Amino acid sequence: MLYFKRIFCALLSAALIFSGCSSKGEQSKNDSFSSDTTENSSTNPEKTDSSQNTTASKTTSATTTTTRATLTDVVTRENKPAKVNVGEYNYPFSLTGFDSVVSVEDFKEFLDELSLLTSNNDFSLSFCYKNMDTGAEIDYNQYQDFMTCSTIKAPYIKSLLESGVDLEQNITKYSKFTGDTGYTASLENGARISVRELMKRAVSYSDNTAYYLLHNYFGYYQYNANQTRLSNNCYLGSSWIFTHCTAQEMLKNYADIYEFIKSDPNGSFLKELMSADDVDVNMQIRYALEPKYTVCEKYGSEFGSWGEKNQFHACSIVFAESPFVLVVFTDQLPETEKSAEIFKKLAVVFYKINSVVL
């Protein structure tokens, strides 16, 4: 069933791409199959469509205070290594790779907090956490299928960077992604844009047409090769740029990005794109954990259409004292204060858990 669902997604995306490009304003964000089609002009001064809704990226001072006030250094009851036997725990999520923690009591308390966040939700929730030093993981509904939305853009750009594309090469804008009304989509056909700038727009501003142009020009061979290497099944094709995946598959992609950032000469550029000050949406994991840590994040949104549900996701690499990757997928209405709360709460709890892992 999962295989056929992903094939259906691919065929539907192909039909949209080849159905022709609608004029600006013809199709709203709520009507589009594409993820994050309408860009938020309030967060990027280059954007020119003043009619676009900017409410989503605004946050209240109350939310700012309550979320960030919890990010003091974690003080534990004990301060000595203690063995963990996760087989003794009974939680709705799985724990693997844990050996020792600073405080077993505090570790258990933080897990209890995490367990509460999985209950009484009126939306589907899936998350995966991995400590990049120890390999410890916590997974919940990790095999549930979701649309990738724009979370796929960072792994795709990583595949281009590792394949050695020329960042200063110019690409001609000849078309736009169906329904897109963002900055690149609004440029006249024939405009020339550097690969570096298109990558910036695709990752930092979640610009669908920038991503579309890169995909159509460079293809997807390296990206798909990476999915095979990672034992993932979220492939791209010649006629679609989004697909379906699980949180576990996306966790492997973002852990792969973390290793790329550490080891590749182009890693610092990708880190810069994912942690830029002017990213399109910053109201989820990154919002909760900065400025204490540098957080590389890529969100994804889909305002339910074409038979799909609403989707709101975030994939983050948290450069804590012991770095970790956190992927959260939901089927909530995207980009509202209410829908962002679960991401911030999970970020804080995983910050606590990560602080006691040895």
4-27 pLDDT per residue, tens: 445 444 444 444 333 323 332 223
Q: Does the pLDDT value for residue 67 go beyond 60?
A: no
> Bridge-partner residues for 297, per DSSP?
316
Q: Where are the domains of the chain?
A: 28-356
Could you tell me which CATH number the domain at 28-356 has?
Answer: 3.40.710.10
Structure tokens at 45: 């001064």
Confidence of residue 76 (pLDDT cuts 50, 70, 90): confident
Q: What is the pLDDT of residue 306?
A: 63
CA 130 and chain centroid, separation: 15
Tens of pLDDT, residue by residue over 188-242, are 999 999 999 999 999 999 999 999 999 999 999 999 999 999 999 999 999 889 9
Structure tokens at 216: 């159509």
Task: Give the separation between CA 121 and CA 118, rounded to whole angstroms.
Answer: 7
28-52: average pLDDT: 35
Q: Does the pLDDT value for residue 297 go beyond 80?
A: yes
Confidence of residue 100 (pLDDT cuts 50, 70, 90): very high
Rounded to two decimals, what is the model's pTM? 0.83
Q: What is the pLDDT of residue 180?
A: 94
71-90: average pLDDT: 83
Tens of pLDDT, residue by residue over 151-192, are 999 999 999 999 999 999 999 999 999 999 999 999 999 999
Nearest Cα neighbor of 319 from 113, 71, 133 is 133
Nearest Cα neighbor of 206 from 183, 239, 222, 225 is 183
Q: What is the pLDDT of residue 36?
A: 53
81-105: average pLDDT: 93
Task: Give the separation between CA 135 and CA 106, rounded to whole angstroms.
Answer: 20
Looking at every residue in the chain, the average pLDDT score rounds to 84
Residue entry with tokens 């590749």: 264
Q: Does the pLDDT value for residue 68 go beyond 60?
A: no
Task: Give the separation between CA 47 and CA 37, rounded to whole angstroms.
Answer: 13
Q: Where are the alpha helices (DSSP H) in the chain?
A: 2-18, 61-68, 104-117, 153-162, 183-186, 195-204, 208-218, 221-229, 247-263, 267-274, 285-289, 337-356
Q: Does the pLDDT value for residue 77 go beyond 90?
A: no
Residue entry with tokens 């400590």: 131
> Bridge-partner residues for 101, per DSSP?
82, 357
Q: What is the pLDDT of residue 224?
A: 98
